[in-house]
Structure 1
Amino acid sequence: MALLTYQGVVYPAQCDAMGHMNVQYYIAAFDQSFWHLVAAAGYSAAWIGERREGWADRRYEIDFLRELPVGSLFEVHSGISKIGRTSLTTCHRLTDKADGVLCAELHAVSVYFDLAQRQSRVLPEVIVRGAGNCMI
């Protein structure tokens, strides 16, 4: 089930020379969406400090389908498409709130990560169980 993971508005400072939202702000929206998605799956941001465990993005594949001009309201719906041993594959769909049209879509692979050892870790069971509730 896809979850609403982000809502935003395009500000003038977020636009590039062509007058639409710049790529860096799509990435920022997708990044924030990811954190909401993994929280829904059972991950706690407190684990960064408490356990020294977090996430490392390994792969991004983005399709930009329609521009968003200044003032556009948009939202991101996200879900998990694959649960691996150490990673989650996620899908994030950014749509224009005015008409629901898909503007950009990200498919990402993010690895559960030991921040001290700088290496992947097996996904905790609580995340594996919770991720099952976020599958698309």
Structure 2
Amino acid sequence: MPLLTYQGVVYPAQCDAMGHMNVQYYIAAFDQAFWHLIAAAGYSATWIADRQEGWADRRYEIDFRRELPVGSLFEIRSAVVKVGRTSLTTRHRLLDKADGHLCAELLAVSVYFDLARRESRVLPETIVSGVRGLLETDMDSTDAL
């Protein structure tokens, strides 16, 4: 089952001229969900300063399915789709808490990154073993992109 990685509410300042949450706030919520997912896999934000190791987003594929108006409560559930040598492919589903309806879905490829050298690094074994419990199953992947 995907992990609950983020919860939020749509504020008026987050809405565009059409009265629903603007794309930039979907991206911000998905980004925060990613950090919670990789923390659950064993990554620590202290590695940014201590090891000069972090993440670089390589690809985002977003499917917007239903608008979220002001006051909507939502949550994001996330899972790892694929583990590469230097990257993780993750899926993040943003759901309306009122009815559980899928509002948006992000498929992302994020590369483990040497912040000093500005190049990819092999995923640490801590993360590789940590994602095993976070892998998406066939049942989780319904309504895939």
Q: CA deviation at 1:133?
A: 1.1
Structure 1, residues 33-77: CA drift from partner, whole Å, max 9, x if none? 000000000000000000000000000000000000000000000
Q: What letter matches 1:106 in structure 2?
A: L
SS in 2 for 1:49: helix
Identity rate, percent: 79
Which residue number corresponds to residue 20 of structure 2?
Answer: 20
Could you tell me how far apart the structure 2 residues matched to 1:94 and 1:19 are? Answer: 18
Q: Show the counterpart of 2:129.
A: 129
SS of the equivalent of 1:133 reads helix
**3-state secondary structure, aligned to 1:38:** helix
Separation of aligned partners in 1, 2:32 and 2:132: 20
Q: TM-score, normalised by structure 1?
A: 0.99
Counterpart for residue 39 of structure 1: 39
Give CA deviations for 1:12-34 in whole Å, capped at 9, x if unaligned.
00000000000000000000000
What is the match of residue 120 of structure 1? 120
* Equivalent in the alignment of 2:78: 78
Opposite residue 10 of structure 2, the aligned amino acid is V
Equivalent residue number for residue 142 of structure 2? none
- Distance in structure 2 (CA, Å) of the matches to 1:57 and 1:14: 23
Question: What are the equivalent positions in structure 2 for 1:44-55 lying under 5 Å apart?
Answer: 44-55=44-55
Across the aligned residues of Structure 1 and Structure 2, the Cα RMSD in angstroms comes to 0.4
SS in 2 for 1:36: helix
User: How many equivalent residue pairs?
Assistant: 136
Q: Could you tell me which residue of structure 1 aligns to residue 91 of structure 2?
A: 91
- Which ranges of structure 1 fall in alignment gaps of 5 or more residues? none
Q: Which residue of 1 aligns with 2:110?
A: 110
Give the AA of the match of 1:21. M
